[in-house]
Amino acid sequence: MEFAKDYFKLAERHMPVYMFGNSLISHILEMKKVTGFGFKKMIFTFSNDSGFLIHSKIEMLESNRYFSNLVVNNKDKLKKWYLRAKDEIHLADKLLKEAQEGKFQEYNKYYLNLLNIFTYTTIIPFYVLAALENMIKNLTPKEEIQEILSWFEEIRATTRYPQLTAIVTKKFFEKSGELLGINDRLASNLSPDELKDVLSGKGFDISVLKNRENFCIGYLDLKRKKVFFSYDREKIKLEEENNKNISELMGTVANKGMAKGRVRIINKISDVQKMNLGDILVSINTSPSLMPAIKKASAIITDDGGIMCHASIISRELNKPCIIGTKMATKALKDGDLVEVNANKGIVRILRRKEYVVSDNYFLTIN
């Protein structure tokens, strides 16, 4: 499997190896099974509780063309996915209710449900909405796609996948941790297949998990349909992008307005306590779990996202200035930096910064 400079990393994700592995399986195998399109060249890198999904630019363009064609020519298929997604959300609610009552499905059955819930309520809506966003940018009449847009915005806004992983999947991490004599956080760095094996009574070398926690590259073997790992940092060629002299960032306007304030980097629930009233919320991509911080923010800036992402939708609902898709705000900015957000023009101006922050871009080759 070779990766060259036409590959790019998506924004950083704070989630365990297990979830990255699940994402590979959904993007490559499940998405192909359901939609007819699946990614082939996709990996992840992981280090210290966070990592990056790495995509091929060519495949991203292919996915955009594929789903744009469906929007124009096969609305019935999209509606079928939308209705199936609603069923999956109802199933997720059932699983969450059972968990609250102390009932848990056997892991193999639960995992199959989790894959379907993730694929239908998170993965497919993301790529359909990305295609719709591109069509809107290219002046496709909005009224022709508004109904499809409303379907998948609804699904993305109501997916239960984050709750399932935080509540139900975590129980399986805890169980596997007990079996291996380690904590659930370390156990969460098992791949989906490894977790299945451990829960069935097979052992696992925990030193591998410790190495994996420090650094790993994950990829999917298409023949064996399993996630495998490399730990060789030499296989990653880094090109550093020097942000020392950057005074402005640019992104896409999600909601117009002006604001000035101190930066707070908010990527997970534990970060929310840092947020003060009037601060500028800077995030990889927002989610409903960050709402307490969002409500305090005078403006929102994200690395990731399109015009149908959570930050875009919630900023319009709360009428807060919002700039999305800056690619590097969480790397170029630091807690306490003073910035001006001009969401009329999509510009973040750095007025005063504490110190120089370096961000990196990954270009790599896997042999």
Domains of the chain (ranges; CATH) run: 7-231 (no CATH), 244-357 (3.50.30.10)
51-75 tens-digit pLDDT: 888 888 888 889 989 999 999 899 9
Considering Cα of 271, then 273, then 278, then 279, what sign does the dihedral take?
negative
Residue 33, number of CB atoms within 10 A of its CB = 11
Over residues 211-258, the pLDDT tens digits come to 999 999 999 988 889 999 998 776 655 333 344 457 888 888 999 999
- Global pTM value: 0.71
Token duo for residue 295:
């409500």
pLDDT of residue 50: 86
Pick the closest to residue 114 from 130, 131, 98, 91 (CA basis).
Answer: 91
113: tokens are 């449900």
Whole-number Cα distances in Å, 355 to 27, 94, 205, 243, 259 = 38, 49, 41, 11, 22
N residues, the chain: 367
The Cα 359–Cα 242 span in angstroms is 7
| Distance separating alpha carbons of residues 196 and 79, to the nearest angstrom | 34
pLDDT for res 342: 95
Alpha-carbon Rg for the chain in angstroms: 21
User: What are the C-alpha distances in Å from 8 to residues 41, 217, 292?
Assistant: 11, 15, 32
List, for the chain, all residue ranges whose pLDDT scores fall below the cut of 50. 1-4, 238-244, 355-367
Q: What distance in Å separates the CA atoms of residue 219 and residue 164, rounded to the nearest whole number? A: 24
Going by C-alpha positions, the residue among 268, 210, 251, 281 that lies closest to residue 345 is: 251
Q: What pLDDT was estimated at residue 135?
A: 81
Pairing outcome for strands 280-283 and 299-302: parallel
Instruction: Give the pLDDT score at 199.
Output: 96
Report the pLDDT value the prediction gives residue 240, as an integer from 0 to 100: 35
SS3 category, 168: helix
Give the model's pLDDT for residue 236.
58
